[in-house]
Amino acid sequence: MSYYIKLHQVKSTNNFFYKKYQTLSNNELEKIAQNNIKYVSEARLAAISILKERNYDSHINKKIENELDIIENNKLQQLKEKNKQNETIISTLESIQHRKTARYKLSNGNELQVKRLKTNKYQIRIEHYMSIISPVVICKINENNQINYFPFFHTNSILFSLIISFILLGYIWYELGTISNELILIILAFPIINTILQLISFTYKHKLILSTFKQEIQKFR
Is 62 in the same domain as 147? Answer: no
Q: Report the number of distinct structural domains present in the chain.
A: 2
Is 113 in the same domain as 216? Answer: yes
Is 111 in the same domain as 215? Answer: yes
Is 142 in the same domain as 215? Answer: yes
Is 213 in the same domain as 114? Answer: yes
Q: Is residue 97 part of a domain?
A: no
26/56: higher pLDDT:
26
Looking at 49-63, 126-140, 180-194, which range is the least confident one? 49-63
Last residue of a domain, one of 92, 120, 146: 92
Is 130 in the same domain as 35? Answer: no
Q: Averaged over 181-185, what is the pLDDT?
A: 91
Quick one: pLDDT at residue 220? 65
- Residue-wise pLDDT tens digits, 140-171: 999 888 899 999 999 999 999 999 999 999 99
The candidate with the shortest Cα–Cα distance to 76, out of 1, 183, 186, 145, is: 1
Q: Is residue 99 part of a domain?
A: no
All residues at 6 or more sequence positions from 198 whose CB lies less than 8 Å from its CB, including other chains: 133, 134, 135, 153, 154, 157, 158
Q: Averaged over 76-81, what is the pLDDT?
A: 88
Last residue of a domain, one of 61, 92, 123: 92
Tell me if the pTM is above 0.85. no
Is 78 in the same domain as 130? Answer: no
Quick one: pLDDT at residue 5? 43
Which burial class, exposed, middle or buried, applies to 157 when counting CB atoms under 10 A from its CB (0-12, 13-18, 19+)?
Answer: buried
For residue 214, count other CB atoms closer than 10 A to its CB: 13
Q: Averaged over 29-34, what is the pLDDT?
A: 89
Task: Tell me which residue range forms the domain holding 118.
Answer: 107-220
Q: Is residue 75 part of a domain?
A: yes
Is 72 in the same domain as 147? Answer: no
Last residue of a domain, one of 46, 64, 92: 92
For residue 171, count other CB atoms closer than 10 A to its CB: 10
Q: Is residue 140 part of a domain?
A: yes
Instruction: Specify the 3-state DSSP secondary structure of 137.
Output: strand
Q: Is residue 62 part of a domain?
A: yes
Q: Is residue 100 part of a domain?
A: no
Looking at 51-55, 84-88, 199-203, which range is the least confident one? 51-55
Is 113 in the same domain as 215? Answer: yes
Quick one: pLDDT at residue 13? 60
